[in-house]
Amino acid sequence: MKYRMRMLAKHRYQLRQLLGDTTREQACFLVCGTAQGRDEKIILVREVLALEPGDLLIHAPDQLSVNPDAMLRVARRAKKLNGSICMVHTHPMCHGEVEFSRADDYGNIRTFEFFSCMLPGQINSCLVWDAPLECVAGRAYESVQSWKKISAIEVVSGECRSVHHERKHQRFEIGQIFDRQARLLGKEGQHHLSTLRVVIVGCGGIGSVASSLLVHSGIRHITLIDFDKADVTNLPRLLGSNPMDVQNGRNKADIARRYIQDHVPDVEVIVLNHPVEEPSIVSHLVSADLIVSCTDNTTSRAYINQLCHQYFVPVLDLGVQFGADVESGKLVKEVGRVNLMLPGSACMCCTGHIDPQRLALESLSREDQEKRRAEGYVIGSDVEEPSMMAFNMQVAARGIQLCTQWITGLKPIDTTAYEAFRFIGLNGEPGMKPVRKRSDSQCLFCGVNSSLLGVGNLASMLVKPRFHAVA
């Protein structure tokens, strides 16, 4: 089994505050959740627990020992949260690379004997950082004597994404095909793109454009999720489609895969022709480094919203919506949205991008939906909205640009705002403007006391598959 760890920017900041003194070894503990991905387990940092001065029996430049009473206090906190423990310490004399010492090996056996007794069934872990807190080695203990390497520590929020390994200086070989792009992003930035696992939910007008932009940027691992089939009205907006696709009832995700493999044959492409909230798909979503939400329904957006914060998976939410008056046909609404939602930041419920009334409607069977419309409870929900590829492309391109900046470190991003588009200028000047995001402190998903933030597999998903989607 493979292991990696995800934490938020606030956890990284806390570690810097607690472990920054390089005159001697420093230590703290993490309480963690666990997520099961496709072919890996992901350790999710939920809390950082500091040690008090009296908690250390030995505190020297090259040695450190924790009081048993402090160990017991930490274990009880983890037990209360039904989580695991990660023991963290530093090697202040290491710079640029770090590894566990023989003394660490010996001490870990005694430490994890205690934690395995206190927290049965949990996979506890440990980290050792170098002096600048840039390089880190990690182990996940499946038993007292058996451990597996934690391949990387990922910081999945903040102005830029960061990934930490045992060694800082690595050589990145970039092929000729991406030579000019690497001159913009840097070799390391281009390498980060090539190793990223991306999931696209919704392969219609925006999703088909976003998938093409991603693979042309250097993404080499992509999963396409869409259960819908192409129809004749999709042809002007569905990149790579043709009339035969409609005639043959081809799925939108399969059309996107064909385009990708025709243009970039060496990309790993997985197609899942199911609604995103189908339980069999969750492991693909959990293993993703980024989910690009191009869906046009509220149910899937609500599902992705919870998954982002519960499993620490960043989400790029893209949307374009034009509205026309039913009787006159006159255009009355134009909205575009680019929202990079990072775990722990304001969720889509707090920013108003999930409509509770529409979510309730989509949870009904098709028969009940029609009945509600006939009774006049839902007006205009079955009216086809105007759409045009040029506007879809504008939003998709801006979204991929923003994500590229965040992933590669090309430019720090403002995580406290999303970008709102007015394409034509129905109610003022056309253009784009940032809209400040605010999180409700009591929000179940992103609030300061959220019960779902980083819990991983401990909680079930609240949104169930749509009746009409499963059928």
Name 408's Cβ contacts closer than 8 Å, sequence gap at least 6: 185, 186, 188, 189, 190, 192, 193
pLDDT at 123: 95
Looking at the fold, whether 152 and 180 belong to one and the same domain comes out as no
Looking at the fold, whether 180 and 160 belong to one and the same domain comes out as no
Q: Is residue 170 part of a domain?
A: no
Looking at the fold, whether 159 and 197 belong to one and the same domain comes out as no
pLDDT digits (tens, 9 = 90+) for 185-236: 999 999 999 999 999 999 999 999 999 999 999 999 999 999 999 999 999 9
Q: Is residue 414 part of a domain?
A: yes
Question: 276, 285 in Cβ contact below 8 A?
Answer: yes
Looking at the fold, whether 228 and 373 belong to one and the same domain comes out as yes
State what percent of residues in the chain have pLDDT above 70: 94
pLDDT at 328: 81
Here the CATH number for the domain that contains residue 100 is 3.40.140.10
Would you place residue 365 in the very low, low, confident or very high pLDDT band (cuts 50, 70, 90)? low
Looking at the fold, whether 50 and 147 belong to one and the same domain comes out as yes
pLDDT at 324: 85
Give the Cα separation of 239 and 256 in Å (integer): 7
The domain in which residue 248 lies consists of 176-470
Q: Is residue 169 part of a domain?
A: no
pLDDT at 383: 59
Q: Is residue 74 part of a domain?
A: yes
pLDDT at 372: 54
Would you place residue 116 in the very low, low, confident or very high pLDDT band (cuts 50, 70, 90)? very high
Q: What is the pTM of this model?
A: 0.94
Looking at the fold, whether 17 and 143 belong to one and the same domain comes out as yes
pLDDT at 173: 78
pLDDT at 10: 97
Looking at the fold, whether 220 and 354 belong to one and the same domain comes out as yes
Here the CATH number for the domain that contains residue 418 is 3.40.50.720
Cα 218 to Cα 211, 214, 268, 284, 397: the distances in Å are 11, 7, 12, 20, 15
Last-in-domain residue among 105, 131, 164: 164
Looking at the fold, whether 7 and 90 belong to one and the same domain comes out as yes
Q: Is residue 91 part of a domain?
A: yes
pLDDT digits (tens, 9 = 90+) for 225-269: 999 999 999 999 999 999 999 999 999 999 999 999 999 999 999
Looking at the fold, whether 154 and 212 belong to one and the same domain comes out as no
Q: Is residue 171 part of a domain?
A: no
Q: Is residue 254 part of a domain?
A: yes
Q: Is residue 264 part of a domain?
A: yes
Please count the structural domains in the chain.
Answer: 2
Looking at the fold, whether 131 and 208 belong to one and the same domain comes out as no
